[in-house]
Structure 1
Amino acid sequence: MNRKVVLIITFLLIIVACKPTIDNSSTTVKIIPFGEKPGLLRQPYLQMASPTGITITWKTTAITKNCYVEFQEKNQFAKTVVKGNIVNHEGNILNEVALINLKPSTTYYYNIYSNGHLLASGLEYYFTSAPNNNKTAFSFYALGDIGAEEKSSFASEPASRIKELEKKPDFGLGLGDIVYPKGESKNYDNHLFKPFQEVFKNTPFYPVTGNHDWLSDPEKNFEKEWHLPGNEHYYSYTYSNTLFIGLDSSNGNFYKVEEQISWLKNTLEVNKNKYDWIIVYLHHNGKSCTYKEDYEHVKALYKIFANNGVDLVLNGHAHTYERLKPFDFEGNVDASIKNQNQYTNLKNRFISITIGAGGKIEKKWKVNINDPKNCPDGTIVAHSEHVPSFGLISINGRKLNFEGINSLTGKKFDDFSITK
């Protein structure tokens, strides 16, 4: 999003005007005068975490005249205030503040204000800035197909299990189909932000689009709900010793396919040998033994992945869990690998995992890798589990650990490690 954010950093509490652009097409949004307290419609959520900055967004019940964030380091008294901006979207009730000049690997507590009124504060409103070196251990969660209709969704279950983890993940990945049925902005609050509000307020989230998100114009919906790197459809960012690449697999082919694939190749080339790990995530699967077909536009990238140091490829789409054995650039399983739980030296190999039961599960399908109707070649599967689930990945130097977590019980049902 092209959002111009004016930043003022001070150690005095000040009130500043946001000067919102009024969306006259909205007849249901109330405009309230300065001094009147708006309601908090959407809890704050975190984006664009870096060693020196982060973006905080929240939604109010009415258009306000100002918004700002007051924050301070853990165990310190000095407070900093940063002015924000009203985002021209959904009737101009999204409030957004970008913080800069933070210290790396530092925990901050924050309060949010709109129209001069404190709307949220407390011990759960905090964030930790990213590290500025490649030696810091970290973890993240990943899941796709999350924000289903309220009656059929169990999105609150993975959110609860993530909150209960002994060690909080540093951020999360959204593997497409973020909001059902058609990715409309009007469904984001009830389908996604309410069940995940306790996670999003202190853990940054990086989603990519899925085919359902594409059923409504992403430029008017998906892009406006998030503040992501690059053009927000496909982008990259780094954390410690790892390069993350998010792709937009659209619905049957890649968004701006030639441009995106060229960007992917260039991103991998520019960053060659700079990072210990490369993780790609997108919505559609390539090869699969789930009820979904094999998607040729994803399979066409196998050679690029394998020849450029990609370690993991994470996707959603099939509402189930499936981990495949390591693939080479031809899309063939490496038959020489015997231990499918402890990998070493996976050079020119990558592991593909479907984690698509984030908020809904396919009730009409059961895992049966011996059934040729579901899986012409069951030998490609290392582990499958038809349960609501999310992935939890931790990286410490040159070792990566992966766990498949049951969203209902919190119990681990799959795990593997890669050591370089």
Structure 2
Amino acid sequence: MKLNQLAYLLFFVISLSASAQKKEVSFLVRPYLQDASPNSIKVLWETSSGEESIVEWGLTPKLGQKDVGIAYDVNFSESRIHEVKIDGLKRFTEYYYRVITENATSDIFQFKTPPFAEDDESFKIVAMSDMQYDHNEPDKFSEVVNEGILAYLKKEFKGNLPNNLAMVLIPGDLVENGAKYFQWKEHFFNPAEKLFANVPVYPVLGNHERNSVFYFKYFSLPENGTPAYSEHWWYKDYGNTRIIGLNSNEGYSDNKEQKKWLIELLEKTAQEASIDFVFAQLHHPHKSELWIPGERDFTGEVVKALEKFTTETGKPSIHFFGHTHGYSRGQSKDHRHLWINVASAGGAIDNWGEFEGRDYDEFTVTQDEYGFVMVEVEGSKDDPKFTIKRISRGNQDKSRPNELRDSITIWKKERKPMAPEPISPSNETVEVAGVVLKAGEFRSPYKGAFHAASHWQVAETEDFSKPDFDSWKQYENWYYLENRQKKDDLKDEKTNRLKPNTSYFWRVRYRDQNLNWSDWSKTGTFTTSK
């Protein structure tokens, strides 16, 4: 009798111990979404221990389907990252899911698969960067996500999160030090778990990631870059838009394989009629009005490649970047290509005057503020377009709770204004000190178009191959908290000092706010005095 009681007690203790061990499994990183396609998606999460990797999913909260994946070590400890790929999904369809690792079961979340390009569906993207931890503003990234992005979407659009947002783009600096394991959980994933559980996230490497092994363990990005450099550069299609991720960090920005891959991808994209727009993201700026030391030549090469692609194909493009902690929006002079700094989502603001800056011609808006960028893509078969909106959270001096601070819309099809009329000088003699060129009113056949830029040229030859004077002015130029263009109506321009006793030709063209240039005006002439 005593022996049976002892055996029962031993069995109870063992069972209790096993149960206690099982209860120790807990979520470190809640489920997040990766690499979505019209027919598949990847779900990842991290637990304190446990090898079981299960995703239950279905078209309703009852779920009903199940897929099993893999688990792998992340930090030479018992913690495990789990990765499950769900296949056989229907395009542009909403699903429910939850994850299970032994006794740890998540809440039920949702996701929506992408459409095919030919479906002509519209969608929205969030772009933000540089959310690395700031000891003076430790909760800023959580605020940008939860009080910013999630609150903004709930207020502005009907429906749930997966219906309102297709993806999140992050051009680098996700954490302050990518080599520190705890920062990934505490500083990046946990503050944004409500967003990442319902919307796929697509980052690229910033300098603060330090090329860490943790980055490559936590993310399962498209494997369509150069095989030897998996996940350093890649692309992902969503509807009519191609997203390109690049690595602008030292050791990779001078990599010939990356440049070759990009050129070949753009050549391929040029032939794909289903792709209307190309958005690239990389960490470093080509030009930075708030912080010149952050600039990189590699990004300039990327910009040239995208400009060439856009002009040759008629497909507008963007490069999103960060590194400088503030928002900037610029545009190429001769191409429908946008330059957009989507910082800062948490990193300390680069305030005006704090670092060496420069007023670049390309940029019309620069703001030393926290915030994020909304991209609204309209997948119309006849006239597709996208709209960029900067939603600001303000800075230490002024709070801006989800304030719209900048916006621009770009159509795929050109919507050219009419060529301006040259007014003066007209076949007359003028002083050499500075000639005032004057042109007529802005005119466009498109409703709502307005005069957003003027480009003036003066040359000694009628082909304007070597202009003596070349000036490009935009209707706004927000630099150091003021609009330096507020008194310029863009209909006249004073030249610099010209040569005496010389015959000159001059011309002008106008641009609307959607980056459409008119044809050049008729050529005017004048002669400078002795």
TM-score (norm 2): 0.64
Change (3 A) 1:389 1:272: same
**After superposition, what is the alpha-carbon deviation per residue over 1:373-411, rounded to whole angstroms, capped at 9, x for unaligned?**
521x44322111111011100100211100001135112
Unaligned residue ranges in structure 1 (runs of 5+)? 1-30, 328-332, 335-347
Sort the Cα spacing of 1:291 and 1:34 in 2 relative to 1 into closer, same or farther, 3 A: same
Please say if 1:147 is aligned against 2:132: yes
Aligned length: 357
**Secondary structure in structure 2 of the residue aligned to 1:390:** strand
Structure 2: distance between partners of 1:386 and 1:223: 31
State which of 356, 362, 367 in structure 2 corresponds to 1:385. 367
Give the corresponding residue for 2:200. Answer: 204
Once residues 100 and 380 of structure 1 are traced to their aligned partners in structure 2, the CA distance between those partners, rounded to angstroms, is 44
Match of residue 270 from structure 2:
272
User: What is the match of residue 150 of structure 2?
Assistant: 163
Residue 214 of structure 2: aligned partner: 221
Taking a change above 3 Å as real, the CA distance of residues 295 and 38 of structure 1, as seen in their structure-2 partners, is: same
User: Residues 183 and 306 of structure 1: is their aligned pair in 2 closer, same or farther, counting only changes over 3 Å?
Assistant: farther
Answer yes or no: is 1:52 the counterpart of 2:39. Answer: yes
Instruction: Using the TM superposition, give the Cα deviation of residue 349 of structure 1 relative to its aligned residue in structure 2, in angstroms.
Output: 3.3
Whether 2:389 is the aligned partner of 1:403: answer: yes
1:78 to 1:265, Cα distance in 2 relative to 1, 3 A: same
Contact kept? 2:149, 2:372, Cα under 8 Å: no
Change (3 A) 1:78 1:66: closer
Q: Do the aligned partners of residues 367 and 392 (structure 1) sit closer, same or farther apart at CA in structure 2, a change above 3 Å counting?
A: farther
C-alpha distance in structure 2 between counterparts of 1:149 and 1:374, whole Å: 22
Q: Alignment partner for residue 419 of structure 1, among 411, 415, 421?
A: 411
| Correspondence 1:15-414 to 2 at 5 A | 36=23, 38-62=25-49, 64-74=50-60, 77=62, 79-90=64-75, 91=77, 92-115=79-102, 117-122=103-108, 125-134=109-118, 135-149=120-134, 151-153=136-138, 154-160=140-146, 161-164=148-151, 165=153, 166-167=156-157, 168-214=164-210, 217-218=211-212, 220-230=213-223, 231-251=230-250, 254-255=252-253, 257-274=255-272, 275-293=275-293, 294-309=295-310, 311-324=317-330, 326-327=331-332, 333-334=333-334, 348-362=335-349, 365-366=351-352, 374-375=357-358, 377-397=359-379, 398-407=384-393, 409-414=401-406
CA offset digits 1:194-221 (Å, max 9, x no partner): 110110010100000011112xx43x12
Match of 1:9 in 2: none
SS in 2 for 1:49: strand
Superposed CA deviations along residues 168-224 of structure 1, whole A, max 9, x for unmatched, are 31110011011113453331011111110110010100000011112xx43x12111
1:132-173 deviation per Cα after TM superposition (whole angstroms, max 9, x unaligned): 233110110001111314653410122112112134311100
Partner SS, residue 259 of structure 1: helix
Q: 1:210 to 1:78 in 2, by over 3 A?
A: closer
SS for the counterpart of 1:74 is coil
- CA distance in 2: counterparts of 1:394 and 1:367, whole angstroms: 33
**Alpha-carbon distance in structure 1 between the residues aligned to 2:29 and 2:302:** 38
Q: Note closer, same or farther for the CA distance 1:255–1:383 as it changes in structure 2 (3 Å cut).
A: closer
Question: Is the 8 Å Cα contact of residues 361 and 387 (structure 1) preserved in structure 2?
Answer: no
User: Which letter does structure 2 place at the counterpart of 1:419?
Assistant: W
Secondary structure of the 2:195 match is helix
SS in 1 for 2:168: strand
Say if 1:221 and 1:118 are closer, same or farther in 2 by CA, change over 3 A.
closer
Taking structure 1 as reference, are residues 142 and 410 closer, same or farther at Cα in structure 2, changes over 3 Å only?
A: same
Q: Are 1:33 and 1:65, in contact at CA under 8 Å, matched by a contact in 2?
A: no
- Whole-angstrom distance in 2 between the partners of 1:48 and 1:111: 17
Gaps of at least 5 residues in structure 2 are 1-17, 158-163, 224-229, 311-315, 394-399, 413-530
Moved more, 292-301 or 185-194: 292-301
Q: Match for residue 416 of structure 2?
A: none
Q: Distance in 2 between matches of 1:136 and 1:284?
A: 31
> RCO (CA 8 Å, sep 6+): is it higher in 1 or 2?
1
| Structure richer in helix, relative to its length | 2
Residues 203-249 of structure 1, C-alpha deviations (whole Å, 9 max, x = no match): 100000011112xx43x121111010121110001000011100000
- For 1:70 and 1:190, the matched residues in 2 are separated by 26
Q: Which amino acid aligns with 2:277?
A: W
User: 2:134–2:348: 8 Å Cα contact kept in structure 1?
Assistant: no
Q: Structure 1: how far apart are the matches of 2:53 and 2:32? A: 15
> Does the Cα contact within 8 Å between 2:134 and 2:347 map onto a contact in 1?
no
2:268 partner amino acid: V
- Deviations 1:65-105 (Å, cap 9, x if unpaired)? 41201111037x56101112112322351122110101111
Q: Which has the larger radius of gyration?
A: 2
Q: Residue 236 of structure 2: SS of its match in structure 1?
A: strand
Instruction: Work out the CA distance in 1 between the residues paired with 2:252 and 2:46.
Output: 31
1:284-316 Cα shifts (integer Å, max 9, x gaps): 000221213332121123321111125101000
Give the TM-score, by structure 1 length.
0.80
Q: Secondary structure at the match of 1:102?
A: coil
SS at match of 2:328: strand
